[in-house]
Amino acid sequence: MNGSGNQALVDRLAATIQSRVLSGQIPSGSRLRQQTLAAEFGVSRTPVREALRKLQTGGLVHVEPNRGAVVHGPTAREIREAYEVRAELEGLAAELAPTRISDEQLERLREAERLFRRSMGSLIRRRRNGKASDWTAESDWERANNVFHQVIQEAAGNARLLATVATLHLSFPRALSWAALSESSHLLEENIEQHHRILEAIERRDSQEARRLMVEHVRSAGELVTLHLEQASAPEPTAES
C-alpha cells in the first residue's frame, strides 16, 4: 500500500474510533489496546498505532507506553462549547466566501447538494421498504457534508481560519452529526434544507445572510449532537424492587 493509501487507512481508523467514543459506544476511561483493535479491523498494528497517535493529538485519548490508550471522552458541555466556537468561525467563512468563491467551487457546492439529496432519497426508500439504513447513505451524506463545509472554508481565502477550524475538528468531527440526524428523516431533511439555503445565499453573493444561516446551521447541529451524547451516556433505568 502506498503512502496515500496508508494515510487514508489511518484516517479511517481514527474516524471510526473517534465516532464510537463521541457516540458513547466506547465510554470515557476505556483502555484501547492496539492488538485488539488490529484484530477487529483486520489490519496490522502499525496503522492502529498511528490512528491512536492522531487521536492523542486531538486530546481524545492518552497513549501510555506498553499499556495502550486510555479514552478521554468529551463532556456534553465541551461539545456544546466547541460547536459555539465553530459556528462563529464557519459563519465568518460563509461571510467571506460569496465575494471570493470561484465558479469551480460553486459547482462543487452544487454537487455536494445533489449528493445530500441522493443520500436522503436512499435512506427514505429503505425505510419505506422496512429496511435499515446502510453504509452507502451514511457515506454519501458524510462526503457531501465534508465537501460542502470544506469548499466554503477554502473559498473564504483565509489560511488561518482554515487551520483553526481543522484543529477543532480533530476533537469534534462533523461525522458525528450523522448519528444525531439519521434516526429522524425530518431532522435529516431539515439539515439538507439548511445547506440549500446557505448555497442560495452564496449564489446571490449575500454575505450577511450566508453568515447568519451558517451560524444557525452549526449551532443547530451542535445542539442535536449534544443531546444525542447526553442520551447515549445516560444510565439505563433500573426496575424498582
Q: Sketch the domain layout of the chain as residue ranges.
A: 3-71, 76-233
pLDDT by residue (tens digit) across 53-83? 988 887 888 888 777 899 886 778 888 898 9
- May I ask the CATH architecture of the domain 76-233? Up-down Bundle (1.20)
| Phi, psi at 64, each rounded to 5° | -110, 130
> Could you tell me the pTM of the whole model?
0.74
pLDDT by residue (tens digit) across 181-220? 877 878 888 999 999 999 999 999 999 999 999 999 999 9
Residues 99-116 have a mean pLDDT of 96
| Phi, psi at 73, each rounded to 5° | -75, 140
pLDDT band at residue 241, thresholds of 50, 70 and 90?
A: very low
- Write down the CATH number for the domain with range 3-71: 1.10.10.10
Residue 123 CA to residue 192 CA, distance in Å, equals 13
Angle at 228 between CA 93 and CA 20, to 5 degrees: 90
Lowest pLDDT segment from 107-111, 198-202, 232-236: 232-236
Residues 170-176 have a mean pLDDT of 63
CA 32 to centroid of chain Cα atoms: 22
C-alpha cell at 219: 449551532
pLDDT value at residue 157: 97
Is the pLDDT assigned to residue 2 strictly greater than 80? no
Burial (0-12, 13-18, 19+ Cβ within 10 Å), 122: middle
3-state secondary structure of 62: strand
Residue bearing the bigger pLDDT, 172 or 86: 86
Lowest pLDDT segment from 15-19, 44-48, 173-177: 173-177
Integer CA distances (angstroms), 5 to 1, 60, 241, in order? 6, 24, 55
Mean pLDDT, the chain, integer: 86
Cβ atoms of 81 and 226 closer than 8 Å:
no
3-state secondary structure of 61: strand
